[in-house]
Amino acid sequence: MVDIDRTIELIKNSKHVPEEDVKEICQKVQEILIEESNVQLIYPPIVVCGDIHGQLHDLLILFEKNGQVPNSKYLFLGDFVDRGFYSVETFLLLISLKLRYPDRIYLVRGNHESRSITMVYGFYDECLRKYGSVNVWRYCCEVFDYLSLGALIYGSNSSGGDGTGNGVFCIHGGLSPYIEYVDQIKHIDRKKEVPHEGAMCDLLWSDPDDVPAWAVSPRGAGYLFGENEVKKFLYSNKLNLIARAHQLVMEGYKELFNGGLVTVWSAPNYCYRCGNVAAVLRIDDYLNRDYGLFDAAIKDVDAIPSKNPAAEYFL
Amino acid sequence: MSQFQKSIFQKKLQKAEQALGFDFSEELEDQEEEQDNSSSPFAKDAPLPTAKNGPLLSQLLKNSQQGAEANTTGLTSSFKYQKREDIKPKEWCEFFEHSKVLEQQETGNKFQIYYSLPNSNSSPIFIFHHGAGSSGLTFAVLGKQIEQYLATESPHPKIKPGILVFDARNHGKTKVAENDYSRNSFVKDFSFILKSYLDELDPLFKDVISKKEADPQLIVPPIMLVGHSLGGSVLTEALHQYNGMKDGYFSKLVELNIIKGLVMFDIVEDTAVESLAHMNKFLNSRPKGFRSLKIAIDWHIKSNFLRKGESPLVSVPALLMPVEDNDPDVDSSLFKYKWRSDLRLTEPFWDTWFTGLSGGFVNAPVQSKLLILAGNDNLDKRLMIGQMQGKFQLIVFLESGHFLHEDLPNKTAISLIDFWKRNFKPNEKKIPILWGHMRN
């Protein structure tokens, strides 16, 4: 039986976690995640966080600044892995905390929590490099399939932001032309690899943009949606905010459409080169918003090894 | 997005195979020992390769194909050299309908182009620009693949794409008097070639500017510019230089949204600039000539430039020319063929080749952009920010070399066709908006 508190300490100190322990943690956390709904209902106060992408040291700063679990309650909006060099530790820390404090930390799935994506963007290679086999990658991918797709944060009835609604819909990507009501998400069979199209894909891939109606996304998956869609969705579902991640925001967060939607990005100096700050969204009992900004832990970019040597020739 | 590539390709390859009775699988040289594992690549017990350098994706692809009982009747695209005798050079005419030399009146420059014409206004138009030291025929097999896929997918009515490739200045058979290899010169050449093709050679584009200006609703085949390596940089620069200019054919094409897409193959500004430092080492290390075309093709494969397949049979001969008896540079008793392009002459211009490329690509004034990289996702800062803000589509071919359209012509063709369908194909896929139709 793995000592979860000890494992959490190991990870925080960047120490190696044995493969056997990883296996056990992954299996155990699945038992918790399987009980969770596709859209989890959560009560504030809570700290909502965007993409982390394997930047373990920045995640530790995030916890330091906003309170350790279980003192503070957290919702992470996916994209825990890939691109950063500590994806294994980042994901392990998050699921270990989930295992230890299941009602103090919530995890929803991002488009990078996927087998095909992690094979291209680093997590697969990192598992192979650190464990000598892809077993750890495989255990983690199984956990991905159990992650819920979104969350609803409900406020107390007395006050609700602009007064029209009383809740925050939280998702990694955005809206889907298939999903008009939050309840419809409950019908999705989520325990699978992220599909290439359809509602589940859109929720993890779509982006808000200045468009008059639904439009094709330049990303090649999901859609673009505009102010009209956001207004309708908020109204139909009696909400006052959509909180999502998925897009790099140089200033850490960005509110759009008269404050009806916010993008939160929690990976400072993304991939050790983008020069952005990071943010979390703190939501209080009355659904008031407050943003906490933070900077990268690792300042010396040259200390980060280049992932790939330069090409030998270029023609 | 790109990242879905693997499973999408698995499905599409299988579908195409079933429809055609062909085997479209692309084999790796070092992968010829058969895998006897036919289980799904993600099944719990499927053994996965344990080395990074292993041809993982192809292995997975292959596994799943075996699972689907893919046959191996063999066709151009499942090309495998059985014996050395199979290394037979191929001609342009197996891949394109037309070959033509465009002469620029004011300069006397002569540009070799190869092209196939589209058959209707619903056809996509792909205009290719090769990289330094290459030639238009580097895209020969890819062009043919695009044509074959479209013919299979839409037999009634048949959609035949427009494909244009050309030899850039002093590459292949194109002759230009001056030794100016600045990016601006390539941009000017491209603008001339594109105008000549659309104005004079493709009837669907006859007087397209005036027609489109008169009727903005007029359906014109969507043009996608596709550049490999330096070619990608030239096309990106062309879009910016001509964008917003008051007159000029090219700027009208951009302004009227006739040029709709920009695609780059394996080019990232920072990586390209770094690798220029290695160019001289590379140029010193390659042979001055070859005794035969077969040996030349073999050399390209053995030195890992190109993957064994059909493409080198047509692309490599295009890089070479016969050695004359009294050639000053190459000993004709040693070599029968030498390089057509003298890349050393381009060195003074290298610093112009990639400047501002990544930012230019992210902000290019076209509707949709696609970047396909080979080997890894080593984006530089500007591309990384652009990608994570959802500004363009990124596809990574893990198992490919730099000439990804030659190594994996099938996957490249599928990617380009998907890009066209998703973004520009008329009436392809209406967005399925269910809002207002379903109530709980």
Q: Which of B132, B378, B392 sits opposite A315 (nearest CB)?
A: B132
Task: Clarify whether A112 is annotated catalytic.
Answer: yes
B120 reaches A (C-beta below 8 A): no
CB contact residues (below 8 A), chain B span 337-356, against chain A: 343
CA distances from B386 to A38, A247, B275, B310, B379 (A): 30, 9, 23, 35, 10
Give yes or no for a contact between B33 and B27, defined as CB atoms under 8 angstroms apart. no
Contact A248 B389 (CB under 8 A): yes
B427 reaches A (C-beta below 8 A): no
pLDDT for residue B439: 45
Q: How confident is the model at residue B9 (pLDDT cuts 50, 70, 90)?
A: low
B370 reaches A (C-beta below 8 A): yes
Question: Can you name the CATH fold of A4-295?
Answer: Purple Acid Phosphatase; chain A, domain 2 (3.60.21)
All residues of chain B having their beta carbon less than 8 Å from the beta carbon of residue A314 are 132, 229, 271-272, 275-276, 278-279, 402
**Rounded distance between C-alpha atoms, residue A165 and residue B344, angstroms:** 68
Could you state, in order of their start, the residue ranges of all structural domains in chain B? 1-440
* B77-81, B110-114, B207-211: least confident range: B77-81
Q: How near does any CA of chain A get to the CA of B276, in Å?
A: 6
B392 reaches A (C-beta below 8 A): yes
What would the pLDDT profile of A106-149 be if each residue is shown by its tens digit?
999 999 999 999 999 999 999 999 999 999 999 999 999 999 99
Average pLDDT over residues B374-400: 94
Contact B431 A223 (CB under 8 A): yes
pLDDT for residue B85: 65
A311 reaches B (C-beta below 8 A): yes
Q: How confident is the model at residue B195 (pLDDT cuts 50, 70, 90)?
A: very high
B105 reaches A (C-beta below 8 A): no
Average pLDDT over residues A218-239: 96
Average pLDDT over residues A231-241: 95
Structure pTM? Answer: 0.87
pLDDT for residue B376: 85
All residues of chain A having their beta carbon less than 8 Å from the beta carbon of residue B372 are none
Strands A253-256 and A261-264, sheet pairing: antiparallel
Q: How near does any CA of chain A get to the CA of B358, in Å?
A: 14
All residues of chain B having their beta carbon less than 8 Å from the beta carbon of residue A133 are 50
All residues of chain A having their beta carbon less than 8 Å from the beta carbon of residue B389 are 247-248
B133 reaches A (C-beta below 8 A): yes
Task: Clarify whether B229 is annotated catalytic.
Answer: yes
pLDDT at A153 over 70: yes
CATH class, range B1-440: alpha beta
pLDDT at B438 over 80: no
pLDDT at A301 over 80: no
Contacts 24+ apart (CB under 8 A), A299-307: A301/A269, A301/A272, A301/A273, A304/A85, A304/A272, A305/A85, A307/A122, A307/B376, A307/B378
Catalytic residue among B189, B266, B298, B418: B266
Residue of A nearest to B343 (CA): A315
Average pLDDT over residues B335-352: 94
Average pLDDT over residues B294-308: 93
Q: How confident is the model at residue A166 (pLDDT cuts 50, 70, 90)?
A: confident
A308 reaches B (C-beta below 8 A): yes
pLDDT for residue B270: 93
Q: What residue has token string 């359809």?
A: A198
pLDDT for residue B282: 87
Could you state, in order of their start, the residue ranges of all structural domains in chain A? 4-295
